[in-house]
Amino acid sequence: MGLLKGGINEIIATTANNAAPIGIHYREQTARMILFLGSHTAENIERDGWVVANFVHDPILYVKSAFGDLSREAFVEEPVAGHQMHRLREAEAWIAFSATIENKTSEALVVRLTPEREIMEGAFIQPINRGFNSIIDATVHATRYIRNRDAELKKLIDYHAGIIRKCGGKREIEALNLLMSYIE
């Protein structure tokens, strides 16, 4: 698996007609997801036994897939390991995994991922942009904030909003406006 780096890889996970940003924990050659119960991603993986990790650099896709639904046209079917897996049409690269449940608690699933296919669709060298990185951080905090309205989380979101406004391009600013519309 050449694309995953040691640590947590923030990708967009696709399951049957669904997409959501999820972290892949990659340590000692083993890839896992920790999924909080109640998400479509957790439900679909438990039912179907597969997930695709999509590598994308569009900040709007991270926000949209975290809070809303993508249209059917956003997905492409890929026959892999006996499944019709779904990946994002916009993916710059993707890894299709078979997924097995290693552990299930009242709160979360631990899912072990076995790579079945890894494809680079194009070159994807991207300059580091703090605005983009802060979209990822702000979106993580926002997915928690909409559940508990914790004032500390709002402070973190506002901090990242400042960086996005200062360092982001048009697409990051648009993603920030979308994010704010979801949480207000």
Binding-site ranges for ligand FMN (CB under 6 A): 10, 18, 20-23, 33-36, 39-41, 62, 66, 136, 139-140, 143
- Of 82 and 89, the one with the shorter C-beta distance to ligand FMN is 89
- Of 14 and 123, the one with the shorter C-beta distance to ligand FMN is 14
- Of 123 and 180, the one with the shorter C-beta distance to ligand FMN is 180
- Of 62 and 132, the one with the shorter C-beta distance to ligand FMN is 62
3-class DSSP state of 5: coil
The CB-of-118 to ligand FMN minimum distance in angstroms stands at 20
The CB-of-75 to ligand FMN minimum distance in angstroms stands at 13
- Of 82 and 100, the one with the shorter C-beta distance to ligand FMN is 100
Measured CA to CA, the distance from residue 54 to residue 21 in angstroms comes to 9
With a CB cutoff of 8 Å and minimum separation 6, the contacts of 46 are: 101, 109
The CB-of-2 to ligand FMN minimum distance in angstroms stands at 21
Helix (H), strand (E) counts: the chain = 5, 8
The CB-of-162 to ligand FMN minimum distance in angstroms stands at 18
Measured CA to CA, the distance from residue 18 to residue 167 in angstroms comes to 30
Measured CA to CA, the distance from residue 12 to residue 20 in angstroms comes to 5
The CB-of-183 to ligand FMN minimum distance in angstroms stands at 12
Nearest to residue 65, comparing CAs of 18, 33, 24? 18
Nearest to residue 1, comparing CAs of 113, 122, 127? 113
